[in-house]
Structure 1
């Protein structure tokens, strides 16, 4: 693990990534990096017609996340300041593979590889997962208008895509600790004990990293 903690939280839509990132940021006094979501002008149209608006939507997310990570590297990581993010930029490929047609995906992947080649890589990953009923309930509770038209089949496919991605990620990056959290059994928003358990797991990995250096 790199000397400066850079933690990313990942998981399907509505699973609680931002809520957990905020809580861990407050506890550890790490800078909070939040992804831009509702500012995407194509997102509402995307949920209504994925085929028509997927490329515009994914490109907007990619460019904004690239800019965010570039700023984070300059302002925080290079200054030895820890960061916790509510996303990992590789999520772009999860969504792009699911939504883009083959010809557009090839173009998108080329741009993605160019932009992310020298980007800072998180040195700890927290993965939140849950079944479809839990995800749907949390999306309902969050109350974002643009998310109310998301097809259940899309969310179910996406959750499966995330699981495949995480399994592959752990095989390709054994040096990066991954903390898996079952959202069906854990409610860190309403129960302090659940949050404390997550904090302890993060603390253990941070401590291990210090010992290894």
Structure 2
């Protein structure tokens, strides 16, 4: 078990992953890895025509996240430096299993495992669970143009997919500890006490893990 933890924040679109990861990185004075989103040249086209642009979109995300996490292993974990990320690499499967079909999905799975099986995995995942109404509110509030026309059925299915994904990670990555945050009740942006509690719980968990190393 590593004494300098790798922490990931996860949740469906609009859950507040990047916001929480950024706040925790500042609070704990640790480095942060942020996924590339708006820089993806296929994102707008994807939301207009999922079937046409899903493979290009997913491959762009996979290659960028692979490179980021490869660098994370070299720059932080190997040098015993704690780091927090606003995603878990598993999210590539969450999305691709929903957007890709047939031969493309099979090819993507093969490439995914080839690239990611030996990448560093988080010691702790903060999973922000939120319902459709909460996610839609936050998506509207952050005003990303390409997200405003998102199919609500797609987002609703994504919520279920994330629940299944966290259950799968819990089984297949037993050394990873998953902490669930109720995004419907906990507002870590507007409520300082809510954020302080999350930060305190995380620090205590890290301390406990170090003590048992």
State if a TM-score over 0.5 links the two structures.
yes
Counterpart for residue 104 of structure 1? 104
Q: Distance in 2 between matches of 1:63 and 1:9?
A: 20
Shift, 1:77, TM fit: 1.6
Counterpart for residue 168 of structure 1? 168
Shift, 1:75, TM fit: 1.6
- Partner deviation per Cα, 1:35-54 (whole Å, 9 max, x = no partner): 00000000101011111110
Q: Distance in 1 between matches of 2:113 and 2:42?
A: 23
**Structure 2: runs of 5+ lacking an equivalent:** none
Q: Distance in 2 between matches of 1:196 and 1:53?
A: 41
Q: Distance in 2 between matches of 1:204 and 1:80?
A: 19
Shift, 1:3, TM fit: 2.0
Count of residues in correspondence between the two structures = 213
Shift, 1:128, TM fit: 0.4
Task: Provide the alpha-carbon RMSD of the alignment.
Answer: 0.9
**Structure 1: runs of 5+ lacking an equivalent:** none
Contact 1:69 1:120 in 2 (8 A): yes
Is 1:16 paired with 2:16? yes
Shift, 1:170, TM fit: 1.4
Counterpart for residue 84 of structure 1? 84
- The residue matched to 1:79 in structure 2 has which SS? coil
Q: TM-score, normalised by structure 1?
A: 0.97
Q: Distance in 2 between matches of 1:192 and 1:160?
A: 29
**Any runs of at least 4 consecutive aligned residues in structure 1 with deviations exceeding 2 A, and if so which?**
171-175
* Range 64-73 or range 91-100, more displaced: 64-73
- Partner deviation per Cα, 1:8-43 (whole Å, 9 max, x = no partner): 010000110000001100111110110000000001
Q: TM-score, normalised by structure 2?
A: 0.97
